[in-house]
Amino acid sequence: MDWLAKINEAVVKGRKHEIGAMAGEAVDAGISPASLVDDAIIPAMNRVSDMWRAGEYFVPEVMRAASTMQSAMDTLRPYLVKGGTGKGIRVAVGTVKGDLHDVGKNLVAIMLEGAGFEIENMGVDLPPERFVQAARDGARIVGVSSLLTTSMGGMRDVVALFEQDGLRDAVTLIVGGAPVTEKFAQEIGADVYAEDAAHAVQILNKMFK
């Protein structure tokens, strides 16, 4: 049985109630947990991201796929930790003050966890101080999300507070969200711009091998 293809399809189709058992059976069949993540689950979410951008999937389908991925990761996590496949790098992600959107931010958190990062999903409507505190608590990467043009200024405030507190060089700041552009990211002094969750994983995997 082609377990990689089967699990990939289950994630894309959002078969949450089947994926845990399937992942366990795949491990029992000799497929390494790391391979399930790298060669089935992450490519599945990349495919979902492509389908969303193409207008083939909408928010409900994306969230079902993300929830399915989370269920698979819940099953695989004990094997991944035991096998030492985690990067040991903490990432804190959150949505800025004045913005309650969390779909994209949650997808980034799930996919980065699948790639082996340690995730602190801080929530939404967060003041700049919360992002700085995450760095003080050990986050090496801080992800800042905004889905509203009216809240984008909050990203600038986050970067400014890091500089004010002397912590700017201690973290990698990654920003993203529908209205955010690479030009804006450069203007406010962020380190990385990610156009979507898959792009965030791709960039951070290259930066933190």
- Block means of pLDDT (10 residues each) for the chain, 209 residues, are 95 96 95 88 85 89 89 84 67 96 82 84 97 97 95 97 97 95 97 88 86
SS3 90: strand
Identify the sign of the CA torsion 48, 17, 38, 123: positive
Question: What pLDDT is attached to residue 76?
Answer: 86
SS3 for 179? coil
pTM score over 0.85: no
Across-strand partners of 178? Answer: none
pLDDT of residue 66: 85
Query: Where does the chain show beta strands of DSSP type E?
Result: 90-96, 118-126, 141-145, 172-176, 192-193
What is the spatial distance between Cα 109 and Cα 39, in angstroms, rounded to a whole number? Answer: 19
Q: How far is CA 1 from CA 5, 7, 69, in A?
A: 9, 11, 20
Q: Which tokens sit at 75? A: 């099953």
Q: Let me know: does 41 contact 80? Beta carbons within 8 Å.
A: no
Number of H helices, E strands in the chain: 10, 5
**pLDDT for the residue numbered 56:** 95
pLDDT reported for residue 86: 58
Cβ–Cβ < 8 Å for 71, 11: no
Domains of the chain: 3-83 (1.10.1240.10), 90-207 (3.40.50.280)
- At 33 the pLDDT is 87
Q: How far is Cα 185 from Cα 194, in angstroms, rounded to an integer?
A: 9
Dihedrals phi, psi of 175, to nearest 5 degrees: -125, 155
**Total Cβ atoms within 10 A of residue 183:** 8
Tokens for 64, please give them: 């079902």
- In 3D space, the residue among 45, 35, 34 whose CA is nearest the CA of residue 10 turns out to be 45
